[in-house]
């Protein structure tokens, strides 16, 4: 059972309250008209799938219903930190 | 190699079964192979077997980091069916099902393939419409299938709760009589023994840690145990790690790895003689020959490589099973485990060439790879032997994620396996 700290509610709650929403920090193409098929394919379907530290989005579905970012280890499942949308994780440059 | 038969069983009974031949060798690797297959699960071993048997290539090694069939091959719920919606996947899985039907004879190994039928329940009007559509599509593709109403379901599984008082009442089902279950370990062992007999080297407890590259060409694999082993062609047939291997070769795959879990109960007397699956309430169940109820769950929503599942998923699955089968409410569970499945955006595998020369992919089978084992091996062997993608595998190329020609099987494949 994961315990996740919602950065909006400032509460640590069980995983049941949240939904996973995939990889975080995916930038939408700034100039969609000039994207090649390869650019679109990469944007739509190719995701980071690391063994270890992973930055991902979760939504507090049974709480404030807001999206936020989580850094989690995909092997130990340890949640390292959670932070607001638009921010970068603590400890990164 | 010793042929298994009633006579060999009788002969060894006289010797107290002490002198059975080993099923496969434990060889020292050669310096060079025509084909190296990474991954000694069902798909990898089947690929090696069909390469040697159908294409006359015998200088093959299968490299397995653990033991043969110890990954998802030995962790799934052993359901075999071919009732997929779209033509591309229906043809591929039906090809596999046809091979399943003759597999024990072909391998001289009892894989205990039991065509006890597979029921996919419908609980809503939309479910029933989808079932009508899928069964019609199946029949046009020559795959057996029937749409059953509630009475039909009740006749096949009398212990199923078909009352109107459940949260999601059963309205009907699709029924594939040729579907069923098989003994998963025996499938890996049968293919391993068959491949070994044809000269394939099975290298266990040997991890691939990189590729020997020259420019954009793979020349061999680097292993932790035997150093570099050269190969003309390399087939990547792994689950739960295909993204990591692709990373060694310098490209990415549209794959996310999720834990998928299963659990079995204590053995009980025969009570369920078919396979029951439900996408709506999210659970599937069959009874093994030993008497255990084999119960499957959905994948955990988040990505992960820990080979265990989350408790919330177990809870949801058991709730679904108990709602469908109140008779099982006091059965105790014996074991629970998880495997890592490599899922693709369209719930279909990736087969064929990769961005790197001489490296071929057969991965991304997601939650439904076991049923495809013979077909996957058969088709991928042709791919490796001919250096050309066979007709059945063509729609499953990596290029589809750029062209947009996805095969959206979430309806038939997304949940229940």
Q: DSSP assignment of B340-371, as one string?
A: EEEE-TTS--EEEE-SSBTEEEEE--TT--GG
Asked if the model's pLDDT at residue B94 lies above 50, the reply is: yes
For B230-247, what is the mean pLDDT?
Answer: 94
- How far is it, in rounded angstroms, from Cα B102 to Cα B122? 31
- How far is it, in rounded angstroms, from Cα B320 to Cα B168? 10
Q: What is the pLDDT of residues A34-84, one digit of tens each?
A: 999 999 999 999 999 999 999 999 999 999 999 999 999 999 999 999 999
pLDDT band at A90 (very low <50, low <70, confident <90, very high): confident
Nearest Cα residue in chain A from B316: A16
Q: Where are the beta strands (DSSP E) in B240-320?
A: 256-265, 275-278, 283-287, 293-299
Q: Whose CA is closest to B371, among B289, B293, B284?
A: B284
Reported ipTM: 0.94
pLDDT band at B66 (very low <50, low <70, confident <90, very high): very high
- How far is it, in rounded angstroms, from Cα B342 to Cα B367? 8
Asked if the model's pLDDT at residue B52 lies above 90, the reply is: yes
User: Contact, B100 vs B80, CB < 8 A?
Assistant: yes
- How far is it, in rounded angstroms, from Cα A70 to Cα A84? 9
How much of chain B exceeds pLDDT 90, in percent? 90
Helix B87-101 to helix B373-386 angle (10° resolution) is: 100
Give the phi and the psi of residue B190 in degrees, each rounded to 5.
-60, -45
**What local confidence, expressed as pLDDT, does residue A93 receive?**
56
Q: What is the pLDDT of residues B278-296, one digit of tens each?
A: 988 889 999 999 999 999 9
**What local confidence, expressed as pLDDT, does residue B413 receive?**
53
Reported pTM: 0.94
Question: HSE-up of B60 (CA within 13 Å, CB side)?
Answer: 31
Give one word for B215, left, alpha or beta, with left for phi > 0 and alpha for psi -120 to 50: left
Give one word for B43, left, alpha or beta, with left for phi > 0 and alpha for psi -120 to 50: alpha
Question: Among B134-148, B165-179, B304-318, which stretch is predicted with the lowest mean pLDDT?
Answer: B304-318
How much of chain B exceeds pLDDT 70, in percent? 98
- How far is it, in rounded angstroms, from Cα A26 to Cα A92? 17
- How far is it, in rounded angstroms, from Cα B357 to Cα B232? 10
CB environment B183-204: b (16+ within 10 A), e (fewer): bbbbbbbbbbbbbbbbebbbbb
User: Contact, B126 vs B115, CB < 8 A?
Assistant: no
pLDDT band at B368 (very low <50, low <70, confident <90, very high): confident
- Chain B residues near any Cβ of chain A (below 8 Å): 243-244, 252-257, 301-306, 310-312, 345, 401-404
How many separate helices (H) and strands (E) can be counted in chain A? 1, 6
- Give A81's strand partners: A71
User: Contact, B294 vs B78, CB < 8 A?
Assistant: yes
Question: What residues does each domain of chain A span?
Answer: 3-26+39-83
For A2-6, what is the mean pLDDT?
Answer: 96
Q: How far is B306 from chain A (nearest CA, A)?
A: 5
Nearest to A38 among B243, B302, B402 (CB): B402
Q: What is the mean pLDDT of chain B?
A: 94
Nearest Cα residue in chain B from A14: B312
- Chain A residues near any Cβ of chain B (below 8 Å): 1-2, 15-16, 19-20, 22, 37-38, 40-41, 44-47, 49, 51, 54, 56, 72, 74-77
Nearest Cα residue in chain B from A39: B402
**What local confidence, expressed as pLDDT, does residue B417 receive?**
43
Asked if the model's pLDDT at residue B21 lies above 70, the reply is: yes
Asked if the model's pLDDT at residue B415 lies above 80, the reply is: no
B178 DSSP 8-state letter: T
**What local confidence, expressed as pLDDT, does residue B406 receive?**
94
Pairing state between β A79-83 and A67-73: antiparallel
Quick one: CA dihedral B78, B81, B85, B91, positive or negative? positive
- How far is it, in rounded angstroms, from Cα B283 to Cα B321? 6
The encoded tokens of residue B180 equal 């069923």
Asked if the model's pLDDT at residue B185 lies above 50, the reply is: yes
Q: Where are the beta strands (DSSP E) in B94-150?
A: 118-122, 146-149
**What local confidence, expressed as pLDDT, does residue B412 receive?**
64
Pick the CATH number of A3-26+39-83 from 3.40.50.740, 3.30.2270.10, 3.30.1540.20, 3.40.50.300: 3.30.2270.10
Instruction: From chain A, pick out residues whose CB is under 8 angstroms from the CB of B303.
Output: 49, 54, 56, 74
Give the phi and the psi of residue B400 in degrees, each rounded to 5.
-65, -20
SS3 content of chain B, % helix, strand, coil (to 5): 35, 25, 40
User: Contact, B84 vs B118, CB < 8 A?
Assistant: no
Q: What is the pLDDT of residues B316-330, one digit of tens each?
A: 999 999 999 999 999
Q: What is the mean pLDDT of chain A?
A: 94
Q: How many CB pairs under 8 A join A and B?
A: 55
Distance of CA B280 to the CA centre of its chain: 22
């Amino acid at each position: 059972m994961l315990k996740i700290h919602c950065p909006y509610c400032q509460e640590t709650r069980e995983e049941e309250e949240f939904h996973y929403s995939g990889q975080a920090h995916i930038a939408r193409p700034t100039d969609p008209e000039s994207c090649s098929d390869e650019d679109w394919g990469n944007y739509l379907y190719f995701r980071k799938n690391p063994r270890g530290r992973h930055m991902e989005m979760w939504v507090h579905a049974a709480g404030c219903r807001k999206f936020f970012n989580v850094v989690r280890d995909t092997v130990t499942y340890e949640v390292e930190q959670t932070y607001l949308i638009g921010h970068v994780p603590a400890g990164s440059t | 190699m010793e042929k298994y038969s009633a006579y060999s069983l009788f002969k060894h009974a006289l010797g107290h079964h002490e002198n059975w031949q080993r099923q496969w060798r434990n060889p020292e690797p050669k310096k060079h192979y025509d084909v190296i297959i990474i991954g000694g699960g069902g798909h990898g071993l089947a690929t090696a077997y069909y390469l040697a048997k159908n294409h006359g290539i015998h200088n093959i090694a299968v490299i397995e980091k653990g033991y043969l069939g110890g990954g998802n091959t030995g962790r799934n719920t052993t359901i075999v069916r071919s009732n997929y919606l779209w033509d591309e996947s229906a043809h591929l899985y039906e090809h596999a099902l046809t091979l399943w039907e003759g597999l024990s004879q072909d391998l001289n190994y009892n894989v205990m393939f039991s065509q006890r039928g597979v029921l996919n329940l419908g609980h809503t009007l939309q479910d029933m419409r989808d079932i009508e559509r899928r069964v019609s599509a199946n029949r046009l593709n020559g795959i057996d299938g029937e749409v059953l109403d509630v009475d039909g379901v009740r006749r096949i599984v009398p212990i199923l709760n078909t009352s109107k008082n459940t949260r999601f009442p059963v309205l009907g089902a699709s029924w594939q009589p040729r579907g069923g279950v098989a003994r998963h370990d025996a499938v890996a062992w049968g293919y391993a023994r068959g491949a070994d007999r044809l000269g394939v080297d099975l290298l266990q407890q040997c991890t691939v840690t990189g590729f020997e590259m020259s420019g954009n060409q793979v020349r061999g694999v680097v292993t932790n145990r035997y150093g570099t082993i050269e190969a003309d062609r390399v087939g990547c047939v792994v689950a739960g790690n295909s993204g990591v291997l692709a990373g060694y070769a310098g490209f990415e795959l549209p794959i996310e790895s999720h834990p998928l879990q299963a659990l079995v109960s204590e053995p009980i007397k025969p009570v369920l003689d078919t396979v029951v699956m439900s996408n709506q309430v999210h659970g599937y169940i069959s009874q093994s020959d030993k008497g255990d109820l084999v119960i499957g769950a959905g994948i955990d929503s988040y990505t992960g490589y820990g080979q265990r599942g989350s408790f919330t998923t177990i809870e949801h699955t058991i709730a679904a099973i108990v709602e469908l089968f109140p008779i099982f409410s006091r059965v105790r569970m014996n074991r629970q485990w998880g495997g890592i499945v490599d899922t693709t955006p369209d719930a279909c595998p990736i087969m064929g060439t990769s961005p790197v020369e001489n490296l071929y992919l057969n991965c991304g089978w997601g939650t439904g790879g076991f049923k495809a084992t013979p077909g996957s091996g058969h088709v991928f062997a042709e791919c490796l032997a001919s250096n050309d993608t066979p007709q059945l595998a063509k729609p499953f190329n990596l290029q589809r994620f750029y062209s947009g020609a996805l095969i959206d099987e979430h309806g038939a494949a997304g949940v229940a396996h």
